[in-house]
Amino acid sequence: MKIIVKFFGIIIAILLLIYLVGIFLPKNILIKRQILIEKPFFIVWSDLTNPYEEPNWRQDIDTIIQLEDIDGNAVWKETYNNGDSIILETTTNIPNVLIARSYVNDNNFEGTRIVNIKKTEKGTFVRIVLEGKVTNAIYRLKNLISNKENKRLGRYLHNLKNKYKNEVPEEDAW
């Protein structure tokens, strides 16, 4: 009996320690990622503003399901290959400049992805900024260890750039 009490006592102590560490981690996060893509501006913008085509070029996405709009804004659910899923809503769309997408109904995270795009001489410069608040203390520690959101944004930009590497130029198509 003492062994069982000791065992559960240790488990509770470990869980309490994890929670306490998470409480002292910052709630607010800010992640910035950027990349230069050697493709015309309008092509990159078209891909950035059409989430329903992303499973065709994003290796980490399993499915994207269109959901009911919120206040006229597009809403969809992204399901990743590892089983994770998030619901996003396009909250701002300034054509050819900026698109903002907010996380919807996520109990652990409140945030917005802001994607800026800029035409350059060498192609298109894309910058993604994720501003958010991790509300759950245990999730804060998990996010610190796994760095999931930072990796997700990095994969997104990497997959976007690779999409264009694999395309056949129109003049070579025939």
CB 133 within 8 A of CB 109: yes
Gap between the Cα atoms of 133 and 110, Å rounded: 5
CATH 3.40.50.300 fits 2-167, yes or no: no
CB 116 within 8 A of CB 126: yes
Tokens linked to 134: 């991790």
Q: Provide φ and ψ at 102, rounded to 5°.
A: -105, 145
Closest CA to 130 of 45, 35, 60, 32: 32
pLDDT of res. 121: 93
Burial readout 53-86 (b: 16 or more C-beta within 10 A, e: otherwise): ebeebbebbeebeeeeeeeeebbbebebeeeeeb
pLDDT of res. 94: 94
Beta bridge partners of 89: 75, 102
Whole-structure pTM value: 0.81
Gap between the Cα atoms of 90 and 52, Å rounded: 13
DSSP letters of 51-112?
A: GGGGGGT-TTEEEEEEEEEETTEEEEEEEETTS-EEEEEEEEEETTTEEEEEE-S-SSEEEE
pLDDT of res. 173: 45
Domain boundaries, the chain: 2-167
Tokens linked to 127: 């910058």
First to last CA, the chain: 78
Q: List the pLDDT tens digit at each of the 174 positions of the chain.
A: 788 988 999 999 998 888 888 888 888 999 999 999 999 999 999 999 999 999 999 999 999 999 999 999 999 999 999 998 999 999 999 999 999 999 997 778 889 999 999 999 999 999 999 999 988 888 888 888 888 888 989 999 999 999 988 665 555 444
